[in-house]
Copies of this chain bind each other. A is one copy, B any other.
Amino acid sequence: MTRKNGFQHYKFEVPEIIFGRGLLRQVGSCARRLGATKVFLVSDQGLFEAGWVDLVMKSLQEYGLSFVYFDQITSNPKDYEIESGFREYVASGADVIVGLGGGSVMDAAKGIAILSANGGRIRDYRGSDKIHRPIPPLVLCPTTCGTGSDVSQFAVINDTEQLCKFTIMSRCIAPDISLTDPETLLTLPERHVCSTAIDALAHAVEAYFSVAASSLTDVNALQALRLLADNYARAVREHRIEDLEALSRASLHAGMAFSNALLGIGHALAHPIGGLYNANHGDVNAVLLPEVVKFDYPVVTEKIAGLLNALGCELKGNEEFAEEMAVEVIENLLDAGNSPRGLRTLGVREEDLNNLAKLALQDVCVLTSPRQTDEEDLLGIMKRSF
């Protein structure tokens, strides 16, 4: 059942990364450097109300750039929202796209960029390497601590006909610049701090276990785990900028890991579940992660000591308890932010499980699972997480 690691050759690719408090004031400079004359700015209502959109608009103006603002994006971004954004983009005459937001806004910005250069419907680009023409210059500014979309080669879009999220994977859709200003976390509601940080946790664990993992991705996955173990509980409790900044860094490291090592069955399951029930992505990952770790455990035993060490535990000769320790330390993290337990609490219906397993098996994330997986396995994981 172990999968032979066929990835003795590996690649590692990340965009230019800029990180620091107050850096949203530099978005204009970044867009300018990419050749912008007019910027298409994608964000959302919450960030507008918190004042971050205004900060970015001022920065664009300061650098002599005009802009068009687009915020018609909802969470788990829908195909028709992307397509409407694309029409706005074309009408605007903009030449650089800036996305300011969480995973939904950033994936929408990527989707708009794909259509701008390649035409058609967004679902035409489902899967791996379907994008043949380079997209417009793209600056992504994450305002949550989990998605990793700002460094990744992925976009996840909701197909509203099939009621399923699908993944677009292409080196062409990594942005030119990833700019993180951790101060944006100060206005992020606590439940989103928690759900996105747990998404980063799932990214780090699945990337670390992936058959495509390498030395270059492992150091980033483990650093993400270390930062979460050291800072997550305190960040949730005290909401201080120092701790929140550490979560931003964890998200960045986890993003660099999973964009290059890819993910596993946790995310393969989270995509159809998120699509069918419009469920919060981080919450779905939180519910599934313990069972995913148990399922993968037999084929990743050699890596467990590294995972436990990063999470602040030492095996000290207790190898026979490694699985329990790994699950326990992860569950403790989930509890520190009151993550939901049980797919049922997210609205998942038992009668949908068979179909969800079928859809998950087609997800691109299955390909890098460390353990061979079939529909029965996926069904079992959902039932045990129900």
Contact = CB atoms under 8 A, between A and B. Distances in A.
Interface of A: 8-14, 16-23, 214-216, 219-220, 222-223, 227, 249, 252-253
Contacts of A10: 18-20
A16 B216 CA distance: 12
Contacts of A22: 9
B9 A19 contact: yes
What's the number of copies of this chain in the assembled complex? 2
B8 A17 contact: no
Nearest to A26: B9
Contacts of A21: 8-9
Contacts of A13: 16-17
Contacts of A17: 11-13, 216
A227 B219 CA distance: 12
A92 to B, nearest CB: 27
Contacts of A16: 11-13
28 contacts: A8-B20, A8-B21, A9-B18, A9-B20, A9-B21, A9-B22, A9-B23, A10-B19, A10-B20, A11-B16, A11-B17, A11-B18, A12-B14, A12-B16, A12-B19, A13-B17, A14-B14, A17-B216, A19-B214, A19-B216, A215-B223, A215-B227, A215-B249, A215-B253, A216-B252, A219-B219, A219-B222, A219-B223
A319 B12 CA distance: 37
A222 B222 CA distance: 12
Contacts of A220: 219
A281 B23 CA distance: 38
A33 B215 CA distance: 26
A249 B219 CA distance: 12
Nearest to A250: B215
A170 to B, nearest CB: 14
A23 B11 CA distance: 11
A184 to B, nearest CB: 15
Contacts of A216: 17, 19, 252-253
A12 B19 CA distance: 8
Contacts of A223: 215, 219
A249 to B, nearest CB: 5
Contacts of A8: 20-21
Nearest to A13: B16
A363 B172 CA distance: 38
Nearest to A7: B20
A11 B30 CA distance: 12
A10 B220 CA distance: 17
Contacts of A252: 216
A137 to B, nearest CB: 14
